[in-house]
Chain A
């Protein structure tokens, strides 16, 4: 998930990673309407979110892992879809991020299901 943000996302003259693109769009003020600006701002924190998922996983806080993973996945999917709707030339990193985001969402859903199932068994 975190790695997808470092893959090439666009070729606007030169190749830019997802994080670099989000930073540039934010800097030049081309991130669109309010919702898109918030989304790209949150996307800049996906490495942070990924690291917190890692910490939560090591701390065995499965519901926290699921929640943070779902947020990170949703942000990646939304940012990828948003990029696809612009006139920017996208690169494979966008597809990788969307795929990783969907996996993260599915993983989060599975984790929640499993925790609830285990609680039900007990």
Chain B
């Protein structure tokens, strides 16, 4: 049209002035080259954008995935650490991790200096790290450190300890750095899994694999474990979990956990299901029966866009030939009959007292988080637990918490180490107890018939507080 230096390419839209036109004679080849270069750059940039949109951030080998996580931890890079995790696990942790930090800051458990991008007063260094991997299957590898050392330097006075904890920690300056640890023994194992061709670190597989190694069981046949089978709605998923629990059907409970998040549980379940089935058979022989005559539910979205199912009414009746044990929740109060001869006083969500200072917060555990996968609904164990913890923290007021903790320092540990965690850890450690002054909460050893690790030893962490002495005891494997 107007380009005197070449044929019309259809891009021109205005008539240049005479000097421009004559200059165009010499500029045209450069302009064409510039346009061609621009098109190439645009194509490359477009491909970069598309690749970034479709990438999950995985690595090309198990060792690289673990190295990425280690680098992120050393750099105190929360985003990098999340990026190194398998997408299904990071989906559960991401938003909740950020909110946990916000809530701990709001309540004064940590101070304003807590920054997920930099933990003041703690400096982790890893030197000379060399990694080796052992394939457990085509898509699962156990990565172990074969060389290197790790050191954590702690400066107690710089740690972001909030005003609430400052009373409990007599002298932050006395917190000392642990000695450097040699990693060359190969005892530090992290499991990496391959998803869509990329490798990620999996916390679930790591926990399951460590438990397997500790028990001495054979490597399971990956991909041939429990097949997840969801329900038709969030409420239905919770109803089916309740029905399966009442029938002591451990396999069905596991089936109702979501693929992705609970892949490790599904794969490793065949290692403990036979023992669980034997334990259930023994219970049945002893005449133990359970039923859930009442279960009323309500559902709504949570902050993560998942569905939170709230238990509005629940009655659980367990009989074993003697007087039945009845747990009854009417939406306001929990009443337990048959556990103690004298019975237990009811605990009500709106009746806080000195003995039950956080009764409202404790009721967060009546909610379960459900997720939709492939058109079916599943109960998310990690999401349920973390949401309950967050609900508990959200329900607390800073001033009231400070007042209660001043009188009863141990109450903080009840909140941060709730009973479900105690039972959860007991499953892997063979039993545990939480002792505080005259009170003791015990988790049964070997629930579901699991054998306790033969080499386990009790470890007691004692926290010296100005008002009370609190001890947390748990059995952990000697290794």
Contacts and interface: CB of A to CB of B under 8 A. Distances in A.
Interface of A: 10-14, 16, 19, 21-30, 41, 44-45, 47-48, 50-52, 54-55, 58-63, 87-89
Contact of B49 (A27, A48, A55): A48
Given A58-B31, A60-B12, A25 B53 contact: no
B55 A12 contact: no
B45 interface: yes
B82 A28 contact: yes
Contacts of B118: 13, 89
Nearest to A50: B45
A59 B79 contact: no
Interface in B57-88: 57, 72, 75-80, 82-83, 87
B116 A12 contact: yes
Contact of A13 (B39, B46, B53, B79): B79
Contacts of A30: 79, 82, 94-95, 98
9 contacts: A19-B48, A27-B57, A28-B94, A30-B82, A48-B45, A51-B41, A54-B42, A60-B16, A61-B11
Contacts of A25: 79
B115 interface: yes
> Chain B binding site: helix, strand, loop or mixed by DSSP?
helix
Given A24-B83, A26-B52, A87 B75 contact: no
Q: Pick the 9 closest A-B CB pairs, nearest first.
A: A13-B77, A51-B42, A47-B45, A59-B11, A55-B38, A13-B75, A48-B45, A27-B57, A45-B49
Nearest to B58: A27
Contacts of A62: 13-14
Given A45-B49, A47-B49, A59 B80 contact: no
A54 B57 CA distance: 30
B57 A28 contact: yes
A12 B77 contact: yes
A58 B42 CA distance: 14
Interface residues of B, number: 42
A28 B38 contact: no
Given A13-B118, A28-B57, A45 B45 contact: yes
Contacts of A52: 38, 42
Interface string B26-56: 0000010011001101100110110011011
Contacts of A27: 55-57, 83
Contact of B39 (A14, A29, A55, A60): A55
B242 interface: no
A21 B78 CA distance: 12
A61 B13 contact: yes
A13 B80 contact: yes
Contact of B98 (A51, A55, A87): A87
B91 interface: yes
A52 B37 CA distance: 11
A11 to B, nearest CB: 6
Nearest to A59: B11
Given A13-B72, A13-B117, A58-B31, A51 B45 contact: yes
B90 interface: yes
Contacts of B35: 55, 58-59
